[in-house]
Every structure is written in C-alpha cells, then in structure tokens.
C-alpha cells in the first residue's frame, strides 16, 4: 500500500491504516518521514495526557478506567503504552497487546504498545510521531502511559499537554525522591489505591512537598504551577478565590482514586478538563506546542547531522583509521573534527534559512 493511500485511509478513520502507520513510524521504514510530514496538517485537536509514576502505582488499571469513562462520555481514545525495550529484539516486551480489560473489543479505544528503545524518559521519538498519527486519525484523547522509570520520566512533558503523576499510598521515601524531577512535571498528583492504609499521610506529604516547592521558588514543568491546599477536583482553575494560587493561575490538585473500583475517576477527568481549559485560555498551550516543535526540530537536526557526519567519517577511512592516525601522532581529534565539519560549515554559510524557506 502506498503512503498516499495509507494516509487517505487513516484520515478516513480506518483503524487498520492507523496501526500500519504507527508500525511504519516505529520501524522507521522507508517513507515514514514523508508520511509524518503529511500528518502535521491534520493535527492539533487531540488532548494529550501523560500518565506516569513509580512501578506498582496502578497506572495500567487507571488508564483502563480513564478510557472506559471517556467512552461513556462519548469521546474516542488512543492509548500508547511505553514498554521497556527487549534487549534482544529492541521491540516492546509485551508486544502489541491489548491489556485494557474493560475496553477490549471497543475500536474507539485504540491501544498500542511501543518500545522505549532505551531513550531517556522512556519515550522514543517514534512515540511523539505516533501521537500525531492518533491525533490526525481523530482521536479526542490520546493517553501516554510510561514505564515509570524515575527522574528520566520528565521527557514526557515534551509530548503530553497534561501530566498526571501517580503516587501509591505509603510511598514514604519515594515521595522524597519525587523532588528530584517528577514534582516539577506534575500538573496533577494522583494518590491511587486511596482505600489503603497510609493514603491520608501520602496526601499530606504531597501537600507539604508542594508547599516547600512554592516557598523555594521551584519552577514547574508541564503546567508548572504548584499550590498546597487543593484536594480532588477543583472547579475554579483561575484561583480567584484561592490565595494559595501562584501568579500563573494554575494550582496543582491532588486527586484520590481507587482505579479498581472507578472511585475518583470522574474527578480526575474533570481535572484534566480544567487543566486543558487553563492551557488554552492562558496561552500556555501555544507556548507548550511551540516548545515541543522546537525540540522536534533540534532532534531531527541532531539525527540527520549525525548520520551525515558518520558518512563523512566513513569516506575518510572510518573512525578506527582516524583514531590510529591520532595514536601515531600524525594528527589530533580536534583537527579531525575541524576537517570533517569544514564542508558542512561551508554549505551553511552559503544558505540563509528563513522560516518561509523551511515552509
């Protein structure tokens, strides 16, 4: 099937085409870049939600309930579950499994597992492109569930509009480690399994931690706006009646859920909606998207320039041969780098790239 036909079928709402496009993206098959380029014109409508947190926090169960509840509200859902990479194949350990029990068979909930491929944050470049495919397809909500690998999870902010960080009750020292980075990307904290002992203490510890972050002038991440006294869904996102709200207008709520029973899921969805509204009305969403695209440009340039330089090195006899010449005292790494980069620098001096040229 040609890329043009594949794109037409994806835009026509055919799930088989969506699956093929994502496979093409993940495998980096020939033609995938042209395909992704065509997707951009059809994106920008989906609400992208990131679900992260420590292993055992109940992320998969909660994502299942979120999808089920969104479907009850008449919205379509795409789910990207980031799995650890297999050391043998580089693919997702669990493959393209459908593990969302309550949504199996519902094609308006499309679940795809993707390999983290060893990238920081558990998110590969392919994941961001897969989000675009689901967005262009017409999914109302795209949920990204990460491996929950600690501080590197901050990579998710480059892909998600709203980030929910799950914290299981009785986390204790785990909450302290959140200060290292996870706190800074949380738009919403979720204390899942809130019917267990220690839930109240965990909520209080999160409140204290958020307060310390405010007092210390800690800047936020995805939404980046922290406050201490917000528990469960809050209706007034602009915080006019809340003197704990910082100058940017968003408070970081703490929502208690019991995913296995569906408790608190509606409150959490309402918080997602409130944060979406805040992002759009405050102009933060435009800032987010602009930053995301800037990072994509940098990433693509790094990948392409790296490939070009590798080719130049091979043409010069390969890295090993160059390294041997350094060992024998014939040259040095700095001179080699200058020689390899010289043609590229000459080309860049001749080309004055303007935004209109790139378009």
Residue pLDDT, tens place only, 216-269: 554 444 344 433 333 333 444 444 444 344 445 788 899 999 998 989 999 999
Q: So what's the pLDDT on residue 152?
A: 55
- Residue 188: beta bridge partners? 164
Mention every residue, 6+ apart, whose C-beta is less than 8 A from residue 204.
Answer: none
44-282: CATH topology is Rossmann fold (3.40.50)
Q: Kind and range of the H or E element at 256?
A: strand 254-256
Q: Quote the mean pLDDT of the chain.
A: 78
Query: Tokens 């799950």 sit at which residue?
Result: 166
Per-residue pLDDT, averaged over 198-222, amounts to 70
Q: So what's the pLDDT on residue 131?
A: 95
Q: So what's the pLDDT on residue 188?
A: 93
pTM, to two decimals = 0.80
Taking only the tens place, the pLDDT of each residue in 102-146 is 444 556 889 998 876 555 444 567 888 999 999 999 999 999 998
Task: Report how far residue 183's alpha carbon sits from residue 186's, in angstroms, rounded to the nearest whole number.
Answer: 5
Query: Is the distance from CB of 126 to CB of 43 less than 8 angstroms?
Result: no
Task: Report how far residue 304's alpha carbon sits from residue 157's, in angstroms, rounded to the nearest whole number.
Answer: 23
Taking only the tens place, the pLDDT of each residue in 279-305 is 999 999 999 999 989 988 988 888 888
Taking only the tens place, the pLDDT of each residue in 59-112 is 889 999 999 999 999 999 999 988 765 433 344 433 333 444 444 455 688 999
Taking only the tens place, the pLDDT of each residue in 296-346 is 898 888 888 888 888 888 887 889 999 999 999 999 999 999 988 888 888
Q: So what's the pLDDT on residue 308?
A: 85
Task: Report how far residue 122's alpha carbon sits from residue 246's, in angstroms, rounded to the nearest whole number.
Answer: 31
pLDDT of residue 45 exceeding 90: yes
Cα angle: 326, vertex 330, 336; to 5 degrees? 60
Query: Is the distance from CB of 255 to CB of 233 less than 8 angstroms?
Result: yes
pLDDT of residue 358 exceeding 70: no
Q: So what's the pLDDT on residue 317?
A: 83
pLDDT of residue 182 exceeding 90: no
pLDDT top residue among 241 and 1: 1
The domain ranges of the chain are 44-282, 292-358
Q: So what's the pLDDT on residue 49?
A: 96
Taking only the tens place, the pLDDT of each residue in 25-41 is 888 888 899 999 999 99
Q: So what's the pLDDT on residue 211?
A: 76
Q: So what's the pLDDT on residue 357?
A: 59
């Amino acid at each position: 099937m040609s890329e043009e036909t594949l794109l037409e079928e994806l835009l026509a709402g055919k799930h088989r085409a969506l699956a093929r496009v994502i496979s093409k993206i993940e495998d980096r098959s020939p033609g995938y870049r042209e395909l992704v380029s065509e997707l951009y014109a059809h994106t920008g409508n989906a609400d992208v939600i990131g679900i992260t947190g420590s292993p055992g926090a109940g992320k998969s169960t909660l994502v299942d309930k979120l999808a089920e509840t969104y479907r009850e509200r008449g919205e379509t859902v795409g789910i990207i579950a980031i799995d650890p990479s297999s050391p043998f194949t580089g693919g997702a350990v669990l493959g393209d499994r459908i593990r969302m029990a309550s949504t199996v068979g519902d094609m308006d909930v499309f679940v795809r597992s993707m390999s983290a491929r060893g990238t920081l944050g558990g998110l590969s470049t392919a994941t961001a492109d897969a989000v675009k495919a689901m967005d262009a397809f017409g999914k109302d909500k795209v949920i990204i569930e990460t491996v929950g690998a600690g501080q590197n999870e901050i990579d998710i902010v480059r892909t998600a509009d709203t980030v929910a960080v799950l914290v299981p009750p009785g986390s204790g020292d785990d909450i302290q480690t959140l200060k290292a980075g996870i706190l800074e990307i949380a738009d919403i904290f979720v204390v899942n399994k809130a019917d267990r002992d220690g839930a109240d203490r965990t909520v209080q510890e999160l409140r204290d931690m958020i307060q310390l972050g405010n007092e210390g002038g800690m800047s936020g991440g995805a939404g980046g706006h922290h406050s201490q006294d917000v528990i469960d869904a809050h209706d007034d996102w602009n915080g006019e009646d809340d003197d704990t709200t910082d100058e940017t207008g968003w408070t970081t709520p703490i929502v208690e859920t019991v995913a296995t029973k569906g408790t608190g899921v509606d409150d959490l969805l309402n918080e997602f909606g409130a944060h979406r509204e805040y992002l759009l009305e405050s102009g933060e969403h435009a800032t987010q998207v602009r930053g995301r695209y800037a990072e994509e440009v940098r990433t693509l340039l790094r990948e392409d320039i790296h490939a070009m330089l590798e080719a130049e090195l091979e043409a010069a006899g390969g890295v090993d041969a160059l390294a041997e010449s350094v060992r024998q005292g014939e040259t040095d790494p700095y001179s080699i780098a200058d020689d390899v980069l010289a043609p590229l620098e000459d080309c860049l001096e001749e080309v004055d790239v303007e935004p209109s040229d790139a378009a």
